[in-house]
C-alpha cells in the first residue's frame, strides 16, 4: 500500500527494507493470516474461501482447509491478483518493531484495518461538522466546503420551541 505524503514522516527511514524483510523473508511471500501467495492470481468465492493451487485444496479466510464448495463456483467465483503489504498490527506507523508488523494480502489487510478506517472516517466527519456548527459555516481552506448550515426544517423542535418561535 503506498504511503500518503502527509504520513511519510511517521515511518522509519529504512521502511522499504523492513517491509521487504517482513513480506518475503519472514512470511516467505505468503499472507500471514490466510496463506495466499504474493504475485499470483487466486480463485476465490464469497466469504473468503479460495483455491490453494499449491496444495490442491479449498481454504477459508483464515487459511484452514475447508470442504469443496457445493454451489456453482463458476457463477460465484472470481480471480484476484494477490499483493502483500506490510501492516502495522497496532495501527501505529511510528512503531515498526518486527513483532508488531505482519505480511497481509489485500483482503486480510482491509479486514484488519476496517474498524480503524471506520473510526477515522467518523472522526473526520465529526470534526468537519463541528467546525461548521461552531462558526455556522465551513472553512473552505480546511476542505469542508461541502458543509452547509443546518436548515431550520431539520432541527428537532419540541412544542416549547414552536411556542417560542411564534
Q: How far is the C-alpha of 28 from the C-alpha of 21, rounded, in Å?
A: 9
pTM: 0.71
Query: Which of 148, 22, 151 minimizes the C-alpha distance to 86?
Result: 22
| Tens digits of residue pLDDT in 70-129 | 888 888 899 999 999 999 999 888 899 999 999 999 999 999 999 988 988 888 888 877
Q: Which 8-state DSSP code applies to residue 112?
A: H
| Tens digits of residue pLDDT in 5-39 | 888 889 999 999 999 999 999 999 999 999 999 99
Would you kindly state where each structural domain of the chain is located, as residue ranges?
Answer: 5-40+82-165
Amino acid at each position: 500500500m503506498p504511503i500518503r505524503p502527509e504520513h511519510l514522516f511517521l515511518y522509519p527511514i529504512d521502511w522499504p527494507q523492513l517491509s521487504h524483510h517482513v513480506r518475503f523473508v519472514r512470511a516467505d511471500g505468503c499472507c500471514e493470516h490466510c496463506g495466499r501467495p504474493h504475485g499470483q492470481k487466486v480463485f476465490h468465492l464469497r466469504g473468503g474461501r479460495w483455491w490453494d493451487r499449491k496444495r490442491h485444496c479449498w481454504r477459508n479466510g483464515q487459511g484452514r482447509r475447508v470442504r469443496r464448495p457445493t454451489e456453482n463456483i463458476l457463477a460465484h467465483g472470481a480471480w484476484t491478483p494477490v499483493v502483500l503489504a506490510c501492516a502495522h498490527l497496532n495501527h501505529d506507523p511510528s512503531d515498526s518493531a518486527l513483532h508488531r508488523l505482519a505480511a497481509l494480502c489485500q483482503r486480510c489487510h482491509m479486514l484488519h484495518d476496517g474498524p480503524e478506517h471506520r473510526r477515522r472516517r467518523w472522526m473526520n466527519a465529526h470534526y468537519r461538522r463541528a467546525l461548521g456548527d461552531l462558526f455556522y459555516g465551513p472553512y473552505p481552506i480546511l476542505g469542508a466546503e461541502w458543509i452547509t448550515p443546518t436548515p431550520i426544517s431539520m432541527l428537532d423542535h419540541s412544542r416549547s420551541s414552536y411556542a417560542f418561535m411564534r
